Each structure stands twice: as structure tokens, then as C-alpha cells.
Structure 1
Amino acid sequence: MRKKKWLNTSLAVITAVSLLLAGCSSNNNDGGSKTNTNANDSTDGNAVDNTDPVTFSYFGFGTNIDVMASETTIGKILQEQTGVDWKMEYVVGDPSTKAGVMIAGGEYPDVISPVGELSKLLNAGAYIPLNDLIEKHGPNIKRVYGEYMDKITHEDGNIYILPFTANVGGYLNDPDAGSNIWIQRRVLKEFGYPEVKTLDQYFDLIVKYQEKYPSVDGKETVGFVTFAGEQGQFYTITNAPMHLAGYPNDGNVLVDMETHEAKLYMATEHEKRWLKKLNEMNAKGLVDPETFTANGDQFKAKLTSGRVLGFVGYIWQMADAMNNLKTAGNDDLRYVSLPIVFDESITDAYMDPPSFVNNRGLGISVSAKDPVRIIKYWDNLLKEENQRLVQWGEEGVTYSVNEEGRFIMSAEQLANRNDNEFKRKYGWAYFDYEWPRYGDNSVYEDGNAHLPARQPEVANVNYTDGDRELLNAYGIETFSGFFAQPVERPWYPAWSIEKEQGSPEQIFNQKAGDLQQKFYPKLVFATEAQFESVWNDYLAEFGKLDAAGFEKFMTDKVKARIAGVW
């Protein structure tokens, strides 16, 4: 029998605290033997730290452009505080292949943000335990992560990564939270800003608009596209049935609010209904023929062209395109996400409830030259003034404080916050997420929002005349006003439940995902007469997988989280 991945709440807390207080790890490779034992080893948190210049290596399995941290404004300020610089590199090509190369070579960057490769790197012994380091050198780490210790402690009693979602000081919803189903604003404007709630209503509008305007300004309109052609982003189209059925992003399962049973929506009527609708729209010529082949750049280029009437995708996947459209200045060609569901009786659940994701974070590798110096850098980063720096920047430069003590941004400052080139140069593109940090919904001690986007005063400045026209038409103040308020789910998000590499659950996920990628294009592009036959072929192939075993695994994990076992 496989051992449990996470300790139960009481045992985890006791183990973590006892380890921290004892100042020792259950693993001899605690980083202490690799560090200098001079002033850098002080434990009182107040001694003058060593600020001699040093450069560490950072590797992220997300997408970004390589940089020296000191070449950015934020990185330079942090270097002046600590003496530490970072050579920051990011994955190119297949992340799994890169992780395998690292493991095979046995040499790692000093710190690694593994994204989806965490379990593989953990099983390979790529990370050192952080317990002892946190106790000796991490007062701010303990302040930020203290209530989450049970959720980040591994089965062996060690902490290996610091996640990115530790909520501090309260919980603020995003005033502009949205869904993953979008429509071009000119479509809504053309028909007098109607209420659009169901999938049928959504596509009916797009059909009517395209029939009326098959081309605009000499450009042929494109009815509907998806982000399914980009490597690793197929979940964009497969997640839709979950949302349409009235569930939040729990991955590939729907969790019943009363029984807490986790059921797959793969190969169910929910998935069939979604794909059948796309098939019908394809028969009408609405679905882009490249919807399963266009890469991310091509997809975003389509959006930026203004030709697309509707699409499915998450905001973080196409923020560049959205910003480019806003900069172009024609609000009618921009998009708005809507609370689309299957039926009027369904309450949407697009807005995220309070959550904690424990399988995305930053860890120190066994190859790290000086773990103490690194952990002190992280602890310094978690001071509230530095959390303000990595989100808001410098007072008087990138934001201001009004007479009421509220953080505000001018239109020009906000434009910089949204400009990719400025974000890279200033450092927001590198420091505002994949580091130990406050969670997005956090609130500072003075009541200001941790994220500028959560600050109502900033959201208001960000609105154009077209934004206000649309909001006024629907009688709401912010775009989150379209959506139902989130309902608390103690397990959320279920997608963060770890499936160990090579486990039955991980193998099921891989095989089921492969089937979806094989059959989705066939189902969408089949003739209407062929659809049922192709669907039955899909069900037959899916039936060979152990769906019941996966559902039991997820149900057990969800119920364990509710009981406090992470």
C-alpha cells in the first residue's frame, strides 16, 4: 500500500513545529552542511546579514524570458538589500523532458519552481528540507506560512517548497474576476446588451451576428476559437463542461457539495453536450478550422485582429492580446467574459472561493551553494514592504498614496503595470508570482489590497469609456458583478491534489487526457450524422480506463482535506 502523501492536520502541525523548534530535520541533508557558519547563521533575525555580492541560479518551469534579476528595477533593489543576484532561466520545449535531463545529470540550479514537475523532482531527491532553515532564519516565512504548515509538510515531516498562495490579512475577491467563455463586445452592443446566461443563448448571438456581418472592414469574422492548439493548454477546452455545469475549476472532477463525492465529467452527458454544441456550430461554419492546431502566438494574433466573435480560454493565457486590444483603443473589438452555463436553473461558479495550492511553489535544490543565504533572501522578500514592492513598485514612481492612505495608480502608472515590456524591465514579470509570496487575495495591515487589481480604486481607473458603457448597460459596478459569489469549498482546488509520478491516478490522468486530445477534434469536426458514432467510439476507449478507481482516489482525498488532511 502506498503511503499517504500528506500528514493529517494534527500530526503535521506537531511534526512541523517539533522539527522547527528542535532545529533539526529528519533528513541529514538539511542545507546546514553546505552553508557558511558566520554572521549568516544568526538566529535572532536582527543581526546584520552578510551582503557580500553573490549570484544564484533560478530555474522556472513556466514560460518567461531569461534575465539577470539585477537587470530589473525590483531585482536591483532586492540585490541592494541583500547582496544577492539571480541568473533566472526558464524552460524551453517540453517541461517533462527538461526535468528528466536535470534528474539524469544529478545537477540542479540553486532554486527551482517546478510547476507540474514537482512530484518527479521530489521523488528524485532534488530538493532539500527547509524546516531547519525556516526555524533559524525565517521569521517572516513563519509569519506568512504559519497557518499552512500542515498543508505544506510532506509525509516525512519535511517542508520542501514554499507555495505561492498563502493568504495573509484577509480575503479580497477580484473585482474583475471572470469566466473562461468570452464574447466580443460589439456582438452584445449590436443586440442591445441582452442577458446571456446559457450556452444556447451565447451561440445564438454569435450566429445572428455572423449572419448579419460575415465580414467587417474587409475582414472575415471568425465565429469561435479555442486555445486547444498550444502545448500543455488542452485543459482550456476540456474544462468547459465543468464550468457549464455550475462547478468551479476543480480539475477534471465535479465535487458534490453535500456528499463530497468527486465524479469525473469526462465521458459524461456534460462533456457530450459541450462537444455536441461545438459540432453543431462547426456545421454552421462558426468554429475556426485551426482551433486544435494554432499555437499560442497564432491564437493571440487572431484575437488581436478583432475578427473573433467568441472564444474559450482563461485570462492568464491571453493577457497580452487583451492588453494589445485595449491599447488599440476600440472597445467594441475587446472581449468580456460571461457566466455561461448549460441551463437557466444552474448557478454559475466561475469565481474562485478561498483556496490554497500546495503543489506549486519554490524550493532549494540539493545543488544549492548557500541555502542559508537563499532562505534569508526569501525571508526578506516576505517582509510586507517588499511584498508591496513586487506588486505595487515604488511609491511616487509606480503608484501613489491618497489622503485616506489608499494605494492608487494614475492611468499612466496603470498602463505601465499592464505593459509587458515595462513589466519585464521593472521586474514585475519576474517577481510578482513564482517566489514565496502573499496569496493574491491578501490584504496589507493598513487595509490596502496586495494585488493592485484587487484594489477598487485601481480597477476604476483601469476602466475605459467603453467599459463603463457596458457595465452601466448591465447595471453593475465591476465585471465580477456578472457572476455569482463563490461558495466556500474546504478542499479547493481539487486539481492541486498530488498524483505521484507512475501512480495509477497519474497514469489514468495521462491516458484520459490523451483520449480527449485524440477524440475532441474528431467530435467537433465530424458531420452531424457521424457525431454519435464517434462519441460511442470515445466511450468505448474511455471504458477501458479505471475511472472508478480514480474517482475513489479523488473522493478520498477531498474528504481528507475537509477533515484537515492535506
Structure 2
Amino acid sequence: MKVFRKAASVTLVAALALTAAACSSGESKPSTSSTDSGGTANTNTKAEPKEFSVFINRSLPDYPGSTRVGDIIDKETNVKLKREYLVGDLDTKIGVMIASGHYPDLMDGGPSTSKLLSAGAYIPLDELVDKYAPNLKKLYNARWNKLKQPDGKVYFLPGWVPYEEGDKAPLLGTPQTGFWIQKAVLKEFNYPKIKTLDEYFDVIEKYAKKYPEIEGGKTIGFEGIMEGSRKHDLVNPSFFLAGYPNDGAGIANKVDGGFKVDTFQDKDMSKRYYKKLNEINAKKLLDQEMFIMNYDQYIAKLTSGRVLGLHDQRFQIGKAIDILDKEKPERSFVPLPLVYDTSIKEQYTPPLGMSTSAGMGISKDAKDPVAIIKYLDYLAKQDTQNLISWGVKDVDYKVNEKGRFYRTPDMIANFKNPEYKKQWGGDYFLGLPISVGYWADGNAARADNQAELLTTTYNDIDKEIIKAYEISSYNDLFAKPEARKYFPLFDIVLEKGGKAELTKQKIDDLLTSYIPKLVMSNPADYDKVWEEYTGKFKALDTKSYIDELQKSVDFRMKNW
């Protein structure tokens, strides 16, 4: 039996009309025949579906077993995914996998992908893709060569792919990174223009003094999380505030037409940020549990409505924002691109690119790699990508006479409902190859990036904010990204077990140890603690770390 059958758009529409009982009144049955990948007509049989286990580096609720999108894909492919999402710390999870020597069929290692690669957990994909997956190859197009490892082979597929046509169009959608502030705070002070970190905390302090309690609990001025790899929201703000993009692993300064890599963790930009948090902590505006709570507790704090501000990326706090937008819209958040002073040009919006250091790969334990690559190829088709990202035509979106995708007000309201989104099920395919660019017909591959939907998804408080700041969308608050061909630094894979990787780990360990000390210390002792921290930082072999990053940057600038 073939692994899957072609999913023509007509088939998808018909299938959805029959499986949408949870969200529509009509119900019918999927078509009983289609065409397989080789072009041979087939009729559905009662054959048992193939099951593939998959680990996805995302914190999502367990798959409910049946969703509208998932059921269509299951029927079209005769494949079921046994999903496992991230619970707890990623590095710990990956470490347990490697120690056991046993892996799921598919794995998205996220920032720990290199560890899986070094452990020999992945199989090469080149021959499989060349023979069985033309849609995958098309999806990654010119970027395919960037995925090759030092041995010349490709082992994993990044989950977010800017399709080729997308390079020619602006990336829209919702801003993903910033200093988030509660909408009620902006409304309370008649929508002030907040550009700097000092202005941001001044407004938060005033609101907290005026409203020491919210929703029956103590107001939390500023929130954060230190758990494992999630602590980027306490590490990265310093370089954003100094006007650098999200390179993560370091900073890159423009020099003589190129870029020179440096550390930021020991620079004044970091000292300045932690000193500000230290001051905020002394004023009792900082959550006293931020350094010890786990991710679930963090999301619970955000959804309580008591948090006035935080720095984070939307992928980490998205489910909290979705809940707040539905249940307590004025307690939800707006991202702001703050800087230390107004002479600094912010770069919160990253240059359009694709991660080349992390993604979904097939493990050495997979029993049927051919079937898996065919399944991924089915997912990579434009029709399937639209199903995953938009839903089904006339149920989740419509198409106007010009061929533009749009959603009615009722459809927009549906997608603000977490329960509807759960029954819809498209988000459960995140982590697998997903296009985030624009198709040749001009439609955005992701609904969030469709220009027509930017303002129609806003609720009443959003519309007030947009009007007050005289902008058309929240994107207008942010500067357009600057081109950086090498971008990003955090995507560079360091030699396993080498000096650079060891130094990177030691830097991470130092931050884990000293950020709480810097923030929670007596303000009078701050400089002393900073000197202690930087003294230990200087003792590290940062030269080998920077040199290896620089070598990769130079290569990318020359060859990409």
C-alpha cells in the first residue's frame, strides 16, 4: 500500500465539510478515493494506519486525539502521529534521550539539535528527499545547501521556512519580541509614547502604586522566567536595548563592510540592564518568584491579569496572550521596541531568514524512513500548508474574487477562542516544516502574515491603541529589519566538545548563577557583584568562542 494519497484542494474541502461537527452544523464523509504520490488511482481500504512517534520542541497541550485538520491529514496519508511536546527543560529532555540511546521516529531538538546530531541520533535525509520528496525540496529551495553539515549531508529540516517568493515581500504578522506592557496601563495614562527602558518602568511604577492589587491579588510590576533554556527573556534584553538584533550568542558590529563578533554578556549594556532590574526589585516591582518558578507557573502568572510588564518572545507566551485576549483583553499585552536612549535605532524585528542549526529530523530508530519522508513531503505541499495554516476554505477562511484569502468577523472570533483552535488543530503541526513566506499568488502562507487580517483581528482595546498612536498595526511601532546575510549568530553550530562549545556552556552557567545575584542584591552591593561576575567571565577562554563564531560569519558573508 502506498504511504499517502494526493490531497487536492477539492478533497480537503470535501473532507472538512464532513469532519467539522465540532464547529459547524453540517456533517458529511470524506471522499473514498484519491490519487497516490505516483499518480495511481486508489480506493480507501481498512488497512491499519502507520504510526510515527514525534518529539516537538514546543509547550502545547497534549494532542486531543482528533482535530479537524488532523483528521483530514490522517485520512489523506493513512498516518497518525504520536506526539510528545516539551515538558520542563529542553536540555534535560534531550540529555535523557541521548543517555538512553532510544529516540522517537521524528525529533525537533530545538537549540539542542546539535547534541542529537553529535550523538548520531539522526539519519541523513539527502537521498530520501531527492528520491521521494520533491515538495520538501521545493519548500526549502535555494536554502537547501545551507542545511548541509560539515560532512555535506542534511540531517534535519527547520520548522519555519521563508518561501522563495517571501524574500520579495515584507514579513507582516504580529511583532514577536519586545518589552510587553499591559494594555490597561497604556489606557490608564492616555497612551503615552514609551521609547526608553526608564520611561517603561516609570509608567509601570505609577500604575502599580495606583493599583497595588489586581484581580484579587498583588500587582506584579515585571515578570520573567529563569528555567533552563527559557531564560533568554532575561539574557537577551540588554542587546536589544543597545540596538542589536536577536543574534543571541553574541553581537556583531559593522566593520569595513563586514561584521565583527563580540560578547555582550560582560559589556556595559548588560550591566545597565541588570542594574535597572536591581532598582525595580528594590522598589518591590519585580516578581520574587521569577528565578525559581517553572514554565506552567510563569504562564499562570501572566494569565492572572496581575502582570504589568515583561520581556519575552511571543512563541513562549502566546498561549497566555490568547487566553487574556479572550477573557481579559485589557489585561493582555502590547510589545514595545525599547532602547536605552532615543539616539539608538532599535532592531527587534529580525532580518528575514531561516534557522540552519535546528529542526525536525528522522532518528536512527525509525523503522520506515521512506514512509516518514513521504509524509513530510505531503505536509510540504502548498495545499497542505494552507490547510495547516489557514484551515479549510469556506469554514476557516474565504477567497475573494481577486484570489485573496480572508476571514469573516465570525471566523476571526473563532480563532480567538482557544477551544476552537484546539478543535481546529493546525497548531499541532508546528515544529514540522511550515512556510512563513508568501506564495506565488501573493497570499501569505501563514494567516497571521496576511495584510488583510492585521487589523481585523484586533479587539476594541487594540483599536483604541492603534488609533491613539496613529498607526495601522502594531508592526508600525517597530523599525524594519536591516539586512545581515550571516544572521543569526545563535544558529552557528560549534564544534562538539571543542573549546568554543565549552566556553559557551561556561558563559551560560555564569549567567544562570549571577543574574539572580545581580538582580536581587542590595543596590549598594550591585557594583561589587558585577565586578565579581565579570572577573569570572574574563577568566573564560572567550577568544576561542568568538573566533569560531567569526569564522562562520565570514564564511556566510562570502558564500551565502
**Normalized against structure 2, the TM-score is what?**
0.87
Aligned residue number for residue 241 of structure 2: 244
Aligned residue number for residue 56 of structure 1: 52
Query: What is the SS of the residue equivalent to 2:559?
Result: coil
CA distance in 2, matches of 1:101, 1:465: 47
Contact 1:111–1:364 (8 Å) recurs in 2: yes
Q: Which runs of 5+ in 2 are unaligned?
A: 1-35
Offset, 1:273: 0.4
After alignment, is 58-67 or 469-478 more displaced? 58-67
1:159 to 140, 154, 157: 154
Within-5 A mapping of 1:430-469: 430-431=428-429, 433-438=430-435, 440=436, 442-469=437-464
CA distance in 2, matches of 1:349, 1:530: 32
Q: What is the percent sequence identity of the aligned residues?
A: 39
Contact 2:305–2:328 (8 Å) recurs in 1: no
Give the aligned residue type for 1:506: E
1:380 to 371, 378, 402: 378
Aligned residue number for residue 187 of structure 2: 189
2:112 to 96, 113, 117: 117
CA distance in 2, matches of 1:74, 1:314: 26
Offset, 1:312: 1.7
Aligned residue number for residue 358 of structure 2: 360
CA distance in 1, matches of 2:449, 2:351: 15
Offset, 1:506: 1.9
Within-5 A mapping of 1:252-271: 252-258=249-255, 259-271=258-270
* Superposed CA offset, 1:298-322 (max 9, x none): 2222222222222222212111221
Offset, 1:452: 0.8
CA distance in 2, matches of 1:294, 1:44: 49
Contact 1:256–1:262 (8 Å) recurs in 2: yes
Closer, same or farther: CA 380–181 of 1 in aligned 2, 3 Å = same
Give the aligned residue type for 2:131: K
Contact 1:129–1:160 (8 Å) recurs in 2: yes
Offset, 1:65: 4.0
Give the aligned residue type for 2:456: V
Aligned residue number for residue 209 of structure 1: 207
Offset, 1:329: 4.5
Query: What is the SS of the residue equivalent to 1:530?
Result: helix
Contact 1:227–1:313 (8 Å) recurs in 2: no
After alignment, is 532-541 or 126-135 more displaced? 126-135
Closer, same or farther: CA 123–340 of 1 in aligned 2, 3 Å = same
Contact 1:172–1:443 (8 Å) recurs in 2: no
After alignment, is 302-311 or 100-109 more displaced? 100-109
Contact 1:119–1:500 (8 Å) recurs in 2: no
Aligned residue number for residue 15 of structure 2: none
Contact 2:195–2:339 (8 Å) recurs in 1: yes
Aligned residue number for residue 89 of structure 1: 84
Aligned residue number for residue 32 of structure 1: none
Closer, same or farther: CA 238–379 of 1 in aligned 2, 3 Å = same
Give the aligned residue type for 1:407: F
Offset, 1:72: 2.6
* Superposed CA offset, 1:59-83 (max 9, x none): 2243334448x62322221222222
Offset, 1:233: 0.9
Offset, 1:44: 8.8
CA distance in 1, matches of 2:143, 2:448: 25
Query: What is the SS of the residue equivalent to 2:500?
Result: helix
Q: Which runs of 5+ in 1 are unaligned?
A: 1-42
Contact 1:45–1:139 (8 Å) recurs in 2: no
Aligned residue number for residue 300 of structure 2: 301
Give the aligned residue type for 1:517: T
* Superposed CA offset, 1:501-523 (max 9, x none): 32222221211111111111111
Closer, same or farther: CA 551–334 of 1 in aligned 2, 3 Å = same
> What's the RMSD between the two structures over aligned residues?
2.4
After alignment, is 89-98 or 70-79 more displaced? 89-98
After alignment, is 151-160 or 468-477 more displaced? 151-160
Contact 1:239–1:252 (8 Å) recurs in 2: no
Query: What is the SS of the residue equivalent to 1:158?
Result: coil
Closer, same or farther: CA 188–436 of 1 in aligned 2, 3 Å = closer
**Normalized against structure 1, the TM-score is what?**
0.86
Contact 2:140–2:161 (8 Å) recurs in 1: yes
Give the aligned residue type for 1:310: G
Closer, same or farther: CA 288–59 of 1 in aligned 2, 3 Å = closer
CA distance in 1, matches of 2:39, 2:416: 37
After alignment, is 159-168 or 54-63 more displaced? 54-63
Give the aligned residue type for 1:437: I
Offset, 1:386: 0.5
Within-5 A mapping of 1:450-529: 450-529=445-524
Aligned residue number for residue 279 of structure 2: 280
Give the aligned residue type for 1:110: D
Give the aligned residue type for 1:63: S
Contact 2:124–2:154 (8 Å) recurs in 1: yes
CA distance in 1, matches of 2:502, 2:40: 50
CA distance in 2, matches of 1:271, 1:188: 27
**How many aligned residue pairs are there?**
518
Give the aligned residue type for 1:548: K
Offset, 1:361: 1.6
CA distance in 2, matches of 1:153, 1:255: 24
CA distance in 2, matches of 1:308, 1:99: 32
Give the aligned residue type for 2:249: N
CA distance in 2, matches of 1:416, 1:501: 46
Give the aligned residue type for 2:427: A
Offset, 1:280: 1.4
Contact 2:387–2:426 (8 Å) recurs in 1: no
Query: What is the SS of the residue equivalent to 1:337?
Result: strand
Query: What is the SS of the residue equivalent to 1:64?
Result: coil
Offset, 1:453: 0.8
Aligned residue number for residue 21 of structure 1: none
CA distance in 2, matches of 1:75, 1:341: 43
Give the aligned residue type for 2:103: Y
Give the aligned residue type for 1:250: D
Give the aligned residue type for 2:54: Y
Contact 2:91–2:229 (8 Å) recurs in 1: no
